[in-house]
Amino acid sequence: MKKIFLFSTLLLISLAMAHTGYACVGRILTIGALSSTNEQLLAEMLATLINERTGTTVNIKYFENQSELYSAVKNGTVSILIENTERAAALLGKTKPADNKEAYALVREGYKKSLDLVLLDAFGVTPDEGGKGQLYYVPIITTEVLTDYPALPRVINKLGGVTDEKSYLKLFEAVKSGDKVKRVAKDYLKQRRLI
């Protein structure tokens, strides 16, 4: 009788552990961004990297304006967003410093304090829609995602400085010319040996 009880107990514990082990399967992360060429390209790189490195399903949702994007973050629809420091500083009611590192520090501190959002390593300088290198983009995550996926920042930070490469301008131009964003992003990650 004791053996049967012990076996039953072990079976229940095993089932409980198995259920816990697979609890993260099926979880989905959603990246939010505006629908500019830059943000589409960065969002696809980010989604592909996370999916390939962690096996997590990642969706991308594009928004027409900043207000819609941050509403989605606030209501939990979006857990990772892509933002440039100029827009971010304006959102905080600040003027963006000319120096990119100073701008990053300003936004990082302001977002943590005011919005409870965490800035990760900056993608770097990207061309604006006119083709000039003027925008400084960063990936931002919610504190909830940071708690649920503690290793995620390490994965995302592999894209730190990714847009400072001269080859990024070619990707930007390829997308503007009509190439599929997802394919361009994936090929670039492979070329950089990130996936």
Is the overall model pTM greater than 0.75, yes or no?
yes
Res 127: pLDDT: 81
Angle between helices 167-176 and 37-54 (to 10 degrees): 110
State the virtual CA torsion across 156, 161, 163, 167 in degrees, nearest 10: -110
Categorize the per-residue pLDDT at 24 as very low, low, confident or very high, splitting at 50, 70 and 90: very low
Mean pLDDT computed over 9-37: 58
Q: What is the pLDDT of residues 99-153, one digit of tens each?
A: 999 999 999 999 999 999 999 999 988 888 776 668 899 999 999 999 999 999 9
Structural domains of the chain, with CATH: 28-191 (3.40.190.10)
Q: For residue 39, which of 82, 90, 100, 88 has the smallest C-alpha distance?
A: 82
pLDDT greater at residue 171 or residue 1: 171
pLDDT at 20 over 80: no
Long-range contacts (CB closer than 8 Å, 24 or more residues apart) made by 94-101: 100/125, 100/136
Tokens 């070619």 belong to: 170
- Is residue 166 scored above 80 in pLDDT? no
- The first and second tokens of residue 95, run together, are 């003027």
Residue 142, beta-bridge partner list: 117
Mean pLDDT of 74-102: 95
